[in-house]
A and B are shown apart, each in its own frame.
Chain A
């Protein structure tokens, strides 16, 4: 029997007294592009932190490629092939773009991505390779962050808040690299506030509201009104 590449079963997450996720489930199949959408505070970034290992759920199980990774430290999950582009990008400011990419390949996982491949898929990153992280614009940071995550040759690429705070032209530039990512066989879990953008690229959409899943389906199945209602909880 085939199993999903990533499955999350019934996780609860707390920030001291505040509960951010309630008994949440999610499955991600190999080769899929799943978009998680939702308003501010829906728990999207919390979910991403749990999958990458930055946060520990108090209950529930996270399975990757058939093995339980719930207790595994973040750096060990990267070695298995889970890579996160975090909210806020978190580019290393004192390192150049190229050094950021080199740090991204620290695990030396085998796969399609290397510096040459990255530079051809992200011309913007290539142009800025000598520049220090601190001197990058938001769009350049986001492109570098995605490229850096790809350098670990992940099986699952987690992209948190891709378009947040970016100019439309920068968002377009970032999304133009998506076909190169998915055609390399990388499975993508995308968190996006911009619903239209998410519907355009995703195979499947899951909408969160206050820590619970309120709607899921393929973009073709879902009505715009349905999504709006789920998104805002009306």
Chain B
């Protein structure tokens, strides 16, 4: 029974990882940008949420409603102001820009908020759970984060496949010059993609901040989990990222079931095994561009 419990807890955690990784996956898929600052932006969102909840004494839901659009606007600005310029200078330069952003942002957070660990208070919700079968309990908040995570990834997938802007993003991913011949401003498409990615990472950061403790340097750990989910699932595929997140979550909780200190390690081992035996991931993007 405890193994089933570990599996269920892993799936719940995995939904959150999938949400966390979807923005990374989207930015890589559309622009081939590896956003090394991804985790740090999640932590930034968590701190913004913390300020709102503490200073204005409002519900965490209000924090989400405020912070997610702010993060989207920030993403738009970062793409327009930094990444679009760096993309002209080849593949390595956006990577360096992202790395620089991560360093500056982490130090900035350290300066403002100190290195103390914090958490966004969610009141009684943190401890609530219900029994689904004998000895099997599901936490209400982990279930909420799971449902939000999976719904957001599904919504993103529907957006990419059914909406004009989503199609434009996929087309830009295939051939960024040819889309301009369709009357599409690829810089604008990139900025909107990053805005969406930042909105999702902001939401993920807030939920993580409510679920666990964070500090300015927590972004590195988050980045690694997001990376692992993306790679396990397969680069450039959101379905893959969803599966990758779930697999990573399960690996961590099952590892922790074996020995409490093995949780994160087990996640890394699954990631390494995927890299070694199935480097394109579980659900790789079917079409390879020329």
Q: State whether A92 touches B180 (Cβ < 8 A).
A: no
Q: Give the contacting residue for A74; candidates B168, B170, B173, B181; CB below 8 A.
A: B181
List of A residues within 8 angstroms of B180 by Cβ:
53-54, 73-75, 78
Do A90 and B170 contact each other (CB < 8 Å), given the known contacts A75-B185, A102-B164, A106-B164? no
Main secondary structure of the interface of B (DSSP, over half): helix
0 or 1 for each of A91-128: is its CB under 8 Å from B? (1 = yes): 01111000110111011010000000000000000000
Q: State whether B185 touches A134 (Cβ < 8 A).
A: no
Q: Is B287 an interface residue (CB 8 A)?
A: yes
CA distance A231 to B47 in the complex (A): 69
Q: State whether A90 touches B183 (Cβ < 8 A).
A: no
What total count of A-B pairs have CB within 8 Å?
A: 79
Q: State whether A94 touches B170 (Cβ < 8 A).
A: yes
List of B residues within 8 angstroms of A95 by Cβ:
167, 170-171, 174
Interface residues of B in 170-222 (CB under 8 A from A): 170-171, 173-175, 177-186
Q: State whether B174 touches A93 (Cβ < 8 A).
A: yes
Q: State whether B178 touches A78 (Cβ < 8 A).
A: no
Q: State whether A148 touches B170 (Cβ < 8 A).
A: no
Of A53, A74, A84, A109, chain B has the most CB atoms within 10 Å of the CB of A74
Of B170, B174, B177, B184, chain A has the most CB atoms within 10 Å of the CB of B174
* Nearest opposing residue in chain A for B179, CB measure: A103
Q: State whether B164 touches A94 (Cβ < 8 A).
A: no
Do A103 and B287 contact each other (CB < 8 Å), given the known contacts A90-B178, A152-B182? no
List of A residues within 8 angstroms of B175 by Cβ:
90, 92
Q: State whether B182 touches A104 (Cβ < 8 A).
A: yes
CA distance A100 to B182 in the complex (A): 10
List of B residues within 8 angstroms of A78 by Cβ:
180-183
List of B residues within 8 angstroms of A93 by Cβ:
174, 287, 289-290
Q: State whether B182 touches A148 (Cβ < 8 A).
A: yes
Q: Is A52 an interface residue (CB 8 A)?
A: yes
Do A92 and B183 contact each other (CB < 8 Å), given the known contacts A102-B164, A132-B287? no
Interface residues of A in 64-101 (CB under 8 A from B): 73-76, 78-79, 83-84, 86, 90, 92-95, 99-100
Q: State whether A106 touches B178 (Cβ < 8 A).
A: no
Do A106 and B184 contact each other (CB < 8 Å), given the known contacts A93-B289, A94-B287, A132-B287? yes
Interface residues of B in 40-57 (CB under 8 A from A): none
List of A residues within 8 angstroms of B182 by Cβ:
75, 78, 103-104, 106-107, 148, 152
CA distance A95 to B161 in the complex (A): 9
* Nearest opposing residue in chain A for B188, CB measure: A75
Do A92 and B171 contact each other (CB < 8 Å), given the known contacts A106-B164, A132-B287? yes
Q: State whether B170 touches A86 (Cβ < 8 A).
A: no
Q: Is B80 an interface residue (CB 8 A)?
A: no
Of B173, B174, B178, B285, chain A has the most CB atoms within 10 Å of the CB of B178
Report the minimal beta-carbon distance from A100 to chain B, rounded to whole angstroms: 8
Interface residues of B in 93-150 (CB under 8 A from A): none
CA distance A109 to B168 in the complex (A): 16
Top-7 shortest CB links A-B: A78-B183, A107-B183, A94-B287, A90-B178, A74-B180, A92-B174, A75-B180
- Taking A74-B181, A86-B181, A99-B167 as known contacts, 12 extra A-B pairs with beta carbons closer than 8 A to each other, sorted by chain A number, are A75-B179, A75-B183, A78-B181, A79-B183, A84-B181, A90-B175, A92-B170, A94-B170, A94-B286, A95-B170, A134-B287, A152-B183
A residues lining the B interface (CB < 8 Å) = 52-54, 73-76, 78-79, 83-84, 86, 90, 92-95, 99-100, 102-104, 106-107, 109, 132-134, 148-149, 152
B residues lining the A interface (CB < 8 Å) = 164, 167-168, 170-171, 173-175, 177-186, 285-287, 289-290
